[in-house]
Amino acid sequence: MAKIQELAEVLTNQIAAGEVIERPASVVKELVENALDAGGNQIDIIVEEAGLRRIQVIDNGAGIPAAEVTTAFKRHATSKITSREDLFKVRSLGFRGEALPSIASVSDMTLESSTGAEIGEYVHYRGGKLIEQKHSAVRQGTTVSVKDLFFNTPARLKYVKSPQTELANIGDIVNRLALSHPQVAFSLIHEGNVILKTSGSGGLQRTIAGIYGVGNARKMLEISAKDLDFQLTGFVSLPELTRSSRRYLTVLINGRYIKNYQLNKAIIAGYGSKLMVGRYPIVVLAIKMDPILVDVNVHPAKQEVRLSKEDELSQLIQKTIYARLSQENLIPDANRNL
Ligand code: ADP
Ligand code: MG
Protein backbone atom coordinates (compact mmCIF):
# COMPACT_ATOMS: atom_id res chain seq x y z
CA MET A 1 0.00 0.00 0.00
CA ALA A 2 1.02 3.60 -0.59
CA LYS A 3 2.22 5.84 2.20
CA ILE A 4 -0.41 7.65 4.28
CA GLN A 5 -0.28 11.39 3.68
CA GLU A 6 -2.51 14.46 3.90
CA LEU A 7 -4.21 15.44 0.67
CA ALA A 8 -3.39 18.74 -0.99
CA GLU A 9 -5.83 21.57 -0.24
CA VAL A 10 -7.14 21.84 -3.82
CA LEU A 11 -7.97 18.15 -3.74
CA THR A 12 -9.82 18.27 -0.40
CA ASN A 13 -11.79 21.22 -1.72
CA GLN A 14 -12.76 19.26 -4.82
CA ILE A 15 -13.88 16.39 -2.63
CA ALA A 16 -15.99 18.80 -0.55
CA ALA A 17 -17.37 20.28 -3.77
CA GLY A 18 -18.66 16.82 -4.63
CA GLU A 19 -21.06 17.13 -1.71
CA VAL A 20 -21.96 20.81 -1.77
CA ILE A 21 -21.84 21.61 -5.49
CA GLU A 22 -23.84 19.02 -7.37
CA ARG A 23 -25.02 21.17 -10.25
CA PRO A 24 -25.25 24.80 -11.43
CA ALA A 25 -28.26 25.40 -9.16
CA SER A 26 -26.10 24.52 -6.13
CA VAL A 27 -23.70 27.33 -7.05
CA VAL A 28 -26.60 29.74 -7.36
CA LYS A 29 -27.96 28.62 -4.00
CA GLU A 30 -24.64 29.02 -2.17
CA LEU A 31 -23.85 32.41 -3.70
CA VAL A 32 -27.32 33.80 -3.10
CA GLU A 33 -27.30 32.54 0.49
CA ASN A 34 -24.02 34.36 1.01
CA ALA A 35 -25.57 37.49 -0.48
CA LEU A 36 -28.58 37.17 1.84
CA ASP A 37 -26.34 36.66 4.87
CA ALA A 38 -24.50 39.85 3.87
CA GLY A 39 -27.77 41.69 4.46
CA GLY A 40 -28.31 43.82 1.37
CA ASN A 41 -31.68 44.45 -0.23
CA GLN A 42 -30.92 43.73 -3.87
CA ILE A 43 -29.59 40.55 -5.47
CA ASP A 44 -29.14 40.17 -9.21
CA ILE A 45 -28.37 36.80 -10.74
CA ILE A 46 -27.14 36.52 -14.31
CA VAL A 47 -26.87 33.11 -15.93
CA GLU A 48 -25.60 31.86 -19.29
CA GLU A 49 -26.09 28.38 -20.76
CA ALA A 50 -28.09 27.27 -17.75
CA GLY A 51 -25.20 28.22 -15.49
CA LEU A 52 -22.55 26.05 -17.09
CA ARG A 53 -20.97 28.90 -18.97
CA ARG A 54 -21.48 31.64 -16.39
CA ILE A 55 -23.22 32.38 -13.12
CA GLN A 56 -22.91 35.87 -11.71
CA VAL A 57 -24.40 37.05 -8.44
CA ILE A 58 -24.29 40.73 -7.51
CA ASP A 59 -25.35 42.00 -4.09
CA ASN A 60 -25.29 45.29 -2.22
CA GLY A 61 -24.61 43.72 1.17
CA ALA A 62 -21.93 44.37 3.76
CA GLY A 63 -19.00 43.28 1.57
CA ILE A 64 -15.77 41.61 2.67
CA PRO A 65 -12.88 43.67 4.12
CA ALA A 66 -10.02 43.66 1.58
CA ALA A 67 -7.64 41.92 3.98
CA GLU A 68 -10.06 38.99 4.45
CA VAL A 69 -10.95 38.22 0.85
CA THR A 70 -8.42 35.40 0.34
CA THR A 71 -9.25 33.99 3.79
CA ALA A 72 -12.86 33.58 2.63
CA PHE A 73 -11.54 31.06 0.06
CA LYS A 74 -9.92 28.89 2.72
CA ARG A 75 -11.73 25.74 3.76
CA HIS A 76 -13.81 26.13 6.95
CA ALA A 77 -13.19 29.87 7.02
CA THR A 78 -16.36 31.70 8.05
CA SER A 79 -17.40 34.96 9.68
CA LYS A 80 -20.72 33.46 10.79
CA ILE A 81 -19.92 31.30 13.77
CA THR A 82 -17.02 31.40 16.18
CA SER A 83 -17.83 28.90 18.90
CA ARG A 84 -19.42 25.55 19.58
CA GLU A 85 -22.39 27.29 21.19
CA ASP A 86 -23.02 29.26 17.99
CA LEU A 87 -23.52 25.98 16.15
CA PHE A 88 -26.65 25.33 18.17
CA LYS A 89 -28.24 28.66 17.39
CA VAL A 90 -27.32 29.33 13.80
CA ARG A 91 -29.29 32.27 12.41
CA SER A 92 -27.34 32.75 9.20
CA LEU A 93 -27.88 30.59 6.12
CA GLY A 94 -24.20 29.65 5.90
CA PHE A 95 -21.80 28.64 8.66
CA ARG A 96 -19.64 25.81 7.32
CA GLY A 97 -17.17 27.93 5.36
CA GLU A 98 -17.14 25.49 2.47
CA ALA A 99 -18.93 27.12 -0.45
CA LEU A 100 -16.32 29.54 -1.79
CA PRO A 101 -13.34 27.13 -1.69
CA SER A 102 -15.51 24.32 -3.10
CA ILE A 103 -16.84 26.37 -6.02
CA ALA A 104 -13.40 27.86 -6.71
CA SER A 105 -11.88 24.36 -6.93
CA VAL A 106 -14.19 23.27 -9.77
CA SER A 107 -14.50 26.45 -11.84
CA ASP A 108 -12.96 29.68 -13.02
CA MET A 109 -14.11 32.14 -10.40
CA THR A 110 -13.73 35.82 -9.64
CA LEU A 111 -14.92 37.75 -6.61
CA GLU A 112 -14.89 41.48 -6.18
CA SER A 113 -15.97 42.98 -2.89
CA SER A 114 -15.95 46.20 -0.97
CA THR A 115 -17.30 47.23 2.40
CA GLY A 116 -17.87 50.71 1.01
CA ALA A 117 -15.53 52.17 3.65
CA GLU A 118 -12.24 51.20 1.99
CA ILE A 119 -10.88 50.24 -1.39
CA GLY A 120 -12.29 47.00 -2.79
CA GLU A 121 -10.45 43.76 -3.49
CA TYR A 122 -10.60 41.49 -6.56
CA VAL A 123 -9.46 37.88 -6.71
CA HIS A 124 -9.43 35.34 -9.54
CA TYR A 125 -9.15 31.61 -8.90
CA ARG A 126 -9.00 28.82 -11.45
CA GLY A 127 -9.28 25.20 -10.39
CA GLY A 128 -8.72 26.35 -6.79
CA LYS A 129 -5.50 28.27 -7.50
CA LEU A 130 -5.24 32.01 -6.95
CA ILE A 131 -4.07 33.47 -10.24
CA GLU A 132 -4.71 37.18 -9.77
CA GLN A 133 -5.36 39.58 -6.91
CA LYS A 134 -5.69 43.35 -7.12
CA HIS A 135 -7.51 46.35 -5.68
CA SER A 136 -10.86 47.27 -7.11
CA ALA A 137 -13.52 49.97 -6.91
CA VAL A 138 -15.24 51.21 -3.77
CA ARG A 139 -18.81 50.02 -4.25
CA GLN A 140 -20.41 48.46 -1.23
CA GLY A 141 -21.29 44.86 -1.95
CA THR A 142 -19.97 41.77 -3.63
CA THR A 143 -19.93 40.45 -7.19
CA VAL A 144 -19.08 36.82 -7.78
CA SER A 145 -18.64 35.27 -11.24
CA VAL A 146 -18.36 31.56 -11.79
CA LYS A 147 -17.37 30.43 -15.28
CA ASP A 148 -16.75 27.02 -16.83
CA LEU A 149 -18.22 25.07 -13.94
CA PHE A 150 -16.82 21.52 -13.61
CA PHE A 151 -14.20 22.17 -16.34
CA ASN A 152 -11.71 20.08 -14.35
CA THR A 153 -14.12 17.42 -13.04
CA PRO A 154 -15.42 15.71 -16.21
CA ALA A 155 -17.30 13.02 -14.27
CA ARG A 156 -19.43 15.70 -12.60
CA LEU A 157 -19.95 17.51 -15.88
CA LYS A 158 -21.35 14.34 -17.43
CA TYR A 159 -23.81 13.99 -14.60
CA VAL A 160 -25.31 17.42 -15.30
CA LYS A 161 -28.69 17.15 -17.05
CA SER A 162 -30.08 19.01 -20.06
CA PRO A 163 -29.90 22.81 -20.05
CA GLN A 164 -33.70 22.98 -19.63
CA THR A 165 -33.57 20.82 -16.50
CA GLU A 166 -30.63 22.72 -15.02
CA LEU A 167 -32.30 26.06 -15.73
CA ALA A 168 -35.53 24.81 -14.15
CA ASN A 169 -33.55 23.84 -11.05
CA ILE A 170 -31.98 27.29 -10.91
CA GLY A 171 -35.40 28.94 -11.28
CA ASP A 172 -36.78 26.71 -8.58
CA ILE A 173 -34.13 27.55 -5.99
CA VAL A 174 -34.22 31.28 -6.78
CA ASN A 175 -38.02 31.24 -6.40
CA ARG A 176 -37.74 29.77 -2.95
CA LEU A 177 -34.91 32.05 -1.87
CA ALA A 178 -36.96 35.02 -3.06
CA LEU A 179 -40.02 33.72 -1.19
CA SER A 180 -37.92 33.38 1.95
CA HIS A 181 -36.84 37.03 1.75
CA PRO A 182 -39.72 39.23 0.56
CA GLN A 183 -37.80 42.34 1.68
CA VAL A 184 -35.04 41.68 -0.88
CA ALA A 185 -35.46 42.62 -4.56
CA PHE A 186 -34.35 39.68 -6.71
CA SER A 187 -33.76 39.41 -10.40
CA LEU A 188 -32.78 36.33 -12.39
CA ILE A 189 -31.68 36.84 -15.98
CA HIS A 190 -30.87 33.98 -18.36
CA GLU A 191 -29.26 34.88 -21.70
CA GLY A 192 -30.75 38.36 -21.47
CA ASN A 193 -34.28 37.18 -20.62
CA VAL A 194 -35.80 38.14 -17.29
CA ILE A 195 -36.89 34.87 -15.67
CA LEU A 196 -37.85 36.33 -12.34
CA LYS A 197 -38.11 39.73 -10.74
CA THR A 198 -39.43 40.56 -7.29
CA SER A 199 -39.94 44.05 -5.92
CA GLY A 200 -38.52 43.55 -2.45
CA SER A 201 -41.51 45.48 -1.11
CA GLY A 202 -41.63 43.28 1.95
CA GLY A 203 -45.01 41.61 1.59
CA LEU A 204 -45.09 37.85 1.20
CA GLN A 205 -48.27 37.94 -0.87
CA ARG A 206 -46.73 40.48 -3.26
CA THR A 207 -43.69 38.26 -3.63
CA ILE A 208 -45.92 35.26 -4.30
CA ALA A 209 -47.72 37.32 -6.93
CA GLY A 210 -44.36 38.21 -8.52
CA ILE A 211 -43.37 34.57 -8.70
CA TYR A 212 -46.55 32.61 -9.32
CA GLY A 213 -48.61 35.37 -10.92
CA VAL A 214 -51.21 37.77 -9.55
CA GLY A 215 -54.11 35.52 -10.56
CA ASN A 216 -52.74 32.63 -8.56
CA ALA A 217 -51.82 34.80 -5.59
CA ARG A 218 -55.47 35.90 -5.44
CA LYS A 219 -56.47 32.28 -5.03
CA MET A 220 -54.34 31.85 -1.93
CA LEU A 221 -55.48 32.19 1.65
CA GLU A 222 -53.42 33.68 4.43
CA ILE A 223 -52.83 31.46 7.42
CA SER A 224 -51.27 32.08 10.78
CA ALA A 225 -50.98 30.14 14.01
CA LYS A 226 -48.90 30.14 17.12
CA ASP A 227 -48.24 27.78 19.97
CA LEU A 228 -45.56 27.59 22.63
CA ASP A 229 -42.81 26.47 20.26
CA PHE A 230 -43.83 27.57 16.79
CA GLN A 231 -45.05 30.60 14.96
CA LEU A 232 -46.55 29.86 11.60
CA THR A 233 -47.48 32.29 8.80
CA GLY A 234 -48.00 31.90 5.10
CA PHE A 235 -50.33 31.33 2.19
CA VAL A 236 -52.09 28.21 0.96
CA SER A 237 -53.90 27.85 -2.37
CA LEU A 238 -57.60 27.12 -2.61
CA PRO A 239 -58.15 23.43 -3.43
CA GLU A 240 -59.09 24.44 -6.98
CA LEU A 241 -55.57 25.78 -7.60
CA THR A 242 -53.22 22.81 -7.81
CA ARG A 243 -50.11 21.62 -9.63
CA SER A 244 -48.85 18.19 -10.59
CA SER A 245 -45.57 18.63 -8.71
CA ARG A 246 -44.42 19.26 -5.16
CA ARG A 247 -42.17 22.03 -6.48
CA TYR A 248 -44.76 24.53 -5.36
CA LEU A 249 -44.61 23.58 -1.71
CA THR A 250 -42.17 25.89 0.04
CA VAL A 251 -41.39 25.41 3.71
CA LEU A 252 -39.13 27.97 5.38
CA ILE A 253 -37.73 27.52 8.84
CA ASN A 254 -36.29 30.68 10.34
CA GLY A 255 -35.87 32.07 6.84
CA ARG A 256 -34.16 28.95 5.44
CA TYR A 257 -35.77 26.95 2.66
CA ILE A 258 -35.75 23.30 3.71
CA LYS A 259 -36.84 19.95 2.33
CA ASN A 260 -38.84 17.87 4.75
CA TYR A 261 -41.05 14.99 3.73
CA GLN A 262 -43.10 14.89 6.89
CA LEU A 263 -43.95 18.59 6.85
CA ASN A 264 -44.99 18.33 3.19
CA LYS A 265 -47.20 15.43 4.16
CA ALA A 266 -48.78 17.51 6.93
CA ILE A 267 -49.58 20.26 4.40
CA ILE A 268 -51.30 17.78 2.08
CA ALA A 269 -53.12 16.24 5.04
CA GLY A 270 -54.45 19.71 5.89
CA TYR A 271 -56.38 19.59 2.61
CA GLY A 272 -58.16 16.42 3.76
CA SER A 273 -60.03 14.96 0.79
CA LYS A 274 -60.11 18.26 -1.12
CA LEU A 275 -57.22 17.45 -3.49
CA MET A 276 -57.33 15.06 -6.41
CA VAL A 277 -54.83 12.24 -6.42
CA GLY A 278 -51.48 13.36 -7.80
CA ARG A 279 -52.28 17.05 -7.41
CA TYR A 280 -50.50 19.40 -5.00
CA PRO A 281 -51.39 22.86 -3.76
CA ILE A 282 -49.22 25.97 -3.95
CA VAL A 283 -48.10 26.71 -0.43
CA VAL A 284 -45.60 29.01 1.20
CA LEU A 285 -45.15 28.37 4.88
CA ALA A 286 -42.81 30.44 7.03
CA ILE A 287 -42.14 28.88 10.40
CA LYS A 288 -40.30 30.59 13.23
CA MET A 289 -38.91 28.64 16.14
CA ASP A 290 -36.10 28.70 18.64
CA PRO A 291 -32.98 27.67 16.63
CA ILE A 292 -32.22 25.16 19.38
CA LEU A 293 -35.12 23.05 18.04
CA VAL A 294 -33.61 22.69 14.60
CA ASP A 295 -30.33 21.07 13.64
CA VAL A 296 -29.24 22.38 10.25
CA ASN A 297 -25.89 20.64 10.41
CA VAL A 298 -27.16 17.37 8.96
CA HIS A 299 -25.95 17.65 5.37
CA PRO A 300 -23.44 20.02 3.73
CA ALA A 301 -26.15 21.49 1.47
CA LYS A 302 -28.16 22.35 4.64
CA GLN A 303 -31.54 21.67 3.01
CA GLU A 304 -32.30 18.73 5.21
CA VAL A 305 -32.74 19.58 8.85
CA ARG A 306 -33.49 17.60 11.96
CA LEU A 307 -36.41 18.92 14.00
CA SER A 308 -36.76 18.12 17.70
CA LYS A 309 -40.54 18.47 17.69
CA GLU A 310 -41.44 17.38 14.19
CA ASP A 311 -44.70 15.64 15.18
CA GLU A 312 -45.99 18.65 17.10
CA LEU A 313 -45.15 20.95 14.21
CA SER A 314 -46.79 18.61 11.69
CA GLN A 315 -49.98 18.58 13.71
CA LEU A 316 -50.03 22.35 13.99
CA ILE A 317 -49.57 22.71 10.22
CA GLN A 318 -52.27 20.19 9.37
CA LYS A 319 -54.75 21.62 11.86
CA THR A 320 -54.16 25.24 10.79
CA ILE A 321 -54.56 24.55 7.07
CA TYR A 322 -57.60 22.35 7.64
CA ALA A 323 -59.30 25.02 9.76
CA ARG A 324 -58.52 27.79 7.27
CA LEU A 325 -59.89 25.85 4.30
CA SER A 326 -63.05 24.87 6.21
CA GLN A 327 -63.63 28.50 7.07
CA GLU A 328 -63.29 29.43 3.40
CA ASN A 329 -66.17 27.12 2.49
CA LEU A 330 -68.39 29.25 4.69
CA ILE A 331 -67.20 32.67 3.50
CA PRO A 332 -66.36 32.44 -0.21
CA ASP A 333 -64.38 35.24 -1.85
CA ALA A 334 -62.95 36.52 1.41
CA ASN A 335 -59.62 37.11 -0.27
CA ARG A 336 -60.04 40.04 -2.59
CA ASN A 337 -57.65 42.47 -1.05
CA LEU A 338 -54.74 41.93 -3.43
P1 ADP B 1 -20.10 30.40 4.93
O2 ADP B 1 -21.20 31.06 4.16
O3 ADP B 1 -20.50 29.05 5.43
O4 ADP B 1 -19.51 31.26 6.00
P5 ADP B 1 -18.61 30.57 2.42
O6 ADP B 1 -17.49 29.79 1.87
O7 ADP B 1 -19.88 30.57 1.64
O8 ADP B 1 -18.89 30.09 3.90
O9 ADP B 1 -18.13 32.09 2.58
C10 ADP B 1 -17.01 32.36 3.40
C11 ADP B 1 -17.08 33.76 4.00
O12 ADP B 1 -16.94 34.74 2.96
C13 ADP B 1 -18.41 34.08 4.67
O14 ADP B 1 -18.43 33.65 6.02
C15 ADP B 1 -18.46 35.61 4.55
O16 ADP B 1 -17.74 36.21 5.60
C17 ADP B 1 -17.72 35.87 3.25
N18 ADP B 1 -18.64 36.09 2.11
C19 ADP B 1 -18.92 35.21 1.12
N20 ADP B 1 -19.80 35.73 0.24
C21 ADP B 1 -20.09 36.99 0.69
C22 ADP B 1 -20.94 38.06 0.22
N23 ADP B 1 -21.67 37.94 -0.89
N24 ADP B 1 -20.96 39.21 0.96
C25 ADP B 1 -20.22 39.33 2.08
N26 ADP B 1 -19.42 38.37 2.57
C27 ADP B 1 -19.33 37.21 1.89
MG1 MG C 1 -21.91 30.40 2.33
Among residues 174, 126, 131, 119, which one has the least CA distance to residue 13?
126
**Domains of the chain with CATH codes:** 9-197 (3.30.565.10), 214-330 (3.30.230.10)
Q: Sorting pLDDT into bands at 50, 70 and 90, what band is 332?
A: low
* Residue nearest ligand 1's atom 7 by CA: 99
Q: How many A from CA of 133 to the centre of ligand 1?
A: 18
Q: How many A from CA of 29 to the centre of ligand 2?
A: 9
Distance CA 60, CA 58 (A): 7
Ligand nearest to the CA of 39: 1
Enter the pTM of the model: 0.93
Instruction: Supply φ then ψ for residue 31, to 5 degrees.
Output: -70, -40
Strands 220-226 and 249-253: unpaired
Q: What is the pLDDT of residues 44-103, one digit of tens each?
A: 999 999 999 999 999 999 999 999 999 999 998 999 988 888 888 888 898 889 999 999
Collect all residues with Cβ–Cβ distance below 8 Å to 269 and sequence separation of at least 6.
318, 322
Distance CA 298, CA 101 (A): 20
> What pLDDT, on a 0 to 100 scale, did the predictor assign at position 337?
52
Among residues 251, 249, 214, which one has the least CA distance to residue 230?
251
Q: How many A from CA of 77 to the centre of ligand 1?
A: 8
334: pLDDT strictly greater than 70:
no
Determine the residue of 100, 184, 296 to mutate for testing ligand 1's pocket, defined as the one with the most ligand atoms within 8 A of the Cβ atom: 100
* Residue nearest ligand 1's atom 20 by CA: 34
Q: How many A from CA of 53 to the centre of ligand 2?
A: 21
Residue 112: CB atoms within 10 Å: 23
> What pLDDT, on a 0 to 100 scale, did the predictor assign at position 316?
98
Determine the residue of 13, 74, 75, 78 to mutate for testing ligand 1's pocket, defined as the one with the most ligand atoms within 8 A of the Cβ atom: 78
Q: How many A from CA of 52 to the centre of ligand 1?
A: 22
Inter-residue contact 180 to 211 (CB < 8 Å):
no
Q: What is the pLDDT of residues 194-212, one digit of tens each?
A: 999 999 998 999 999 999 9
Ligand nearest to the CA of 95: 1
Taking CB atoms and a 6 Å cutoff, what residues make up the pocket around ligand 1?
Answer: 30, 34-35, 38, 59, 61-64, 72, 77-80, 94-100, 142
Q: Sorting pLDDT into bands at 50, 70 and 90, what band is 17?
A: confident
Q: Sorting pLDDT into bands at 50, 70 and 90, what band is 331?
A: low
Q: How many A from CA of 164 to the centre of ligand 2?
A: 26
